[in-house]
Each structure stands twice: as C-alpha cells, then as structure tokens.
Amino acid sequence: MTKRTALICGVSGQDGTYLAQLLLDKGYRVIGTSRDATTHAFGNLHRMGITDRVEVTSMVLTDFRSVLQALTRFEPDEIYNLAGQSSVGLSFEQPVETLESIAVGTTNLLEAVRFSGRAIRIYNAGSSECFGDTAGKAANEDTAFHPRSPYATAKATAHWAVANYREAYGLHACTGILFNHESPLRPARFVTRKIISGAVRIARDGGGVLKLGNLSVSRDWGWAPEYVDAMWRMLQTDTPADYVIATGASHTLQAFCDAAFAELGLDAARHVETDAAFKRPSDIDFGQGDASRAARDLGWRATLHMPDVVKAMIQAELALND
C-alpha cells in the first residue's frame, strides 16, 4: 500500500501530539503545522520522542494562500484541524482572535480543499462547549447548541461551516464533538493540570493552598490518547458524519480535586479554596456526552474514566518532579 500522508494543523498541542504518535504507529507520513515552524520548540513532540519522525511546516490557517501552499506541497490524504485558540477562559479576553483562529481558519481550510479539487478527508475539532449547559442530560449529535463563551461560539460556527461544505460540495468532512479529555500534556492554564500540579506541589512541600473557581461545575472527563483514536476512525468511514465523543459519566470539579489529593494521601478540603477571580462571566454547570453513535458506527468506546485519568496524570506529574 502507498503510505498515506496526514496533515495535522496544531500538531504541538495535546491532541496533535497524541494523534501524530497514533498515525506514525499506523505507518502514516505525518506533517505537522505551526504558525512559525522555524522558531517553535515543539516541546510535546520532544517529550513523546517523535520529533524526528514528524515533518513540520509553517502554515497559518487564517491566511488562505498559506493553507493552499501547504496542500499543494504535501498533497495530504487526510487533514486534522486541531489548530486555533484553545482556552475557554482566555476566549473571554481574546474573543476576536478566538473567532478568527477557529471559525475563519476552518473556513479557509475547507475552501482551500475545495479549491484544490483533491479528495482530501477533513477532520475538524469541535467541542462539547457548543452545547452549553445540558441541564443534567447527556448530549448527543441531535442536541441543540447553546454556546456560553466566545470559544464555544467560534467552535459552533466552525461546526456548521464543515456541515455546509459537506452538504454543498460533497467534501468528506466531519466534526468530532469531543467532551473534556485530559492528559499530562495539558498546558498549566487548564484547570485539570492546575489541580494535578498543585496537589503534587502541596504534597511535596508538606502544605499549601490551591485556589480555584466554581467547584460545583460537572464535566465528562476522558483520556486524550483514546479520543484521538476516535478522530482517526471518523476519517476511515465511507460516509462522513459528526460524532459526540465522551465517556458518558459526569463528575464535579470538586470530585476531580478530591480524587487528585486522595491519590497523594491528602484531603482536598484542607488545601483547596474558591476564589471569585477564577470564575468566568458565564459558565456551564453540567456537561455529559452520549457517545452511543460512535460506539455503533465506529466501534469506539472510552475505557478510562475520571478516576483513571487523575491517577495517570498524578503519576506523570510525580515523574516530572523526580
């Protein structure tokens, strides 16, 4: 078989790194993009030991010419769009940048693929944030969107752009509506990594305090390496469709904290404080996904749940501090 080529937009992030590793193991030629590949450190690729196996190139999704040049040069069979501003909290401070990097960037990519005339399959990284608060119910592919942040608004726009290009032009394009998925590669600004690193620091120092926002919010947390496998599966189907990817179980942020501190023999109640400074202008009280369609069509099911994710992240954080 001819080796397939995959282009990963946003290869340096958590999902991009795990996806690159997965595709390399499957025999793909992997091209990774960054805004400026000549100066980017690609720390996650180094950490996973795959730097020398991934070809990197500069590409800016909001620049149509830049995207078209990359498609012409590398002629990918599959494109995974994981790029764009990725923080919900930061999107309140940078709403325009968030909208442009996600919504405009995705539309540029779709239009460039259409313009190329090649049969390229496209995966777009959606988000469960698009659903907003699901009021105690698990969201599926038919659940209406009600975004409650600039990030979610941008992701919803990109989602419908993908659907439109699929229906209007016959592109093999799909969106994965992924619920929260974590790993040791999460940046420190994400609350899950903040909890893990804070708990390890407090255990190491023999005391301390971790300040967080609303501990009563509930999320469906999964394991990132499993979720990138779902991305790949979506592009192997003959008929493109959008899929919710989730564990099907929701836990409060308080429960995540309790599990993290308990893993280190500590009581979270003694060390965690709430601080209004970390609360968002609008937030989601409850998030949970129903991935039964992915199980039926793709054969994908989550095997690791929140307690497993916490344990794996704690172990990785301890190893970093050894």
**Which residues are known to be catalytic?**
127, 129, 151
Q: Is the pLDDT of residue 4 over 70?
A: yes
- Dump pLDDT digits (tens) for 46-70: 999 999 999 999 999 999 999 999 9
Over range 216-230, report the average pLDDT: 96
Q: Are 122 and 109 in contact (CB under 8 A)?
A: yes
pLDDT score for 1:
58
Give the per-residue SS3 of 244-276.
EECCCCCEEHHHHHHHHHHHCCCCHHHCEEECH
What tokens does 164 get? 């439109």
User: Which domains does the chain carry?
Assistant: 5-182+223-249+293-298 (3.40.50.720), 191-218+250-286+305-321 (3.90.25.10)
What is the reported pTM? 0.94
Q: Is the pLDDT of residue 98 over 70?
A: yes
Q: What is the C-alpha R_g of the chain?
A: 19
Query: pLDDT band at 303, cuts 50/70/90?
Result: very high
- DSSP character string of 210-233: EEES-TT-EE--EEHHHHHHHHHH
Classified as helix, coil or strand, 161 is helix
As a 3-state breakdown, the chain gives helix, strand, coil percent values, each rounded to 5, of 45, 15, 40
pLDDT score for 279:
77
Range in 1-10, 97-106, 154-163 with the lowest mean pLDDT: 1-10
Nearest to 219 by CA among 243, 195, 238: 195
- Orientation of helix 64-74 relative to helix 105-116, angle to 10°: 50
Query: pLDDT band at 283, cuts 50/70/90?
Result: confident
Q: Are 306 and 256 in contact (CB under 8 A)?
A: yes
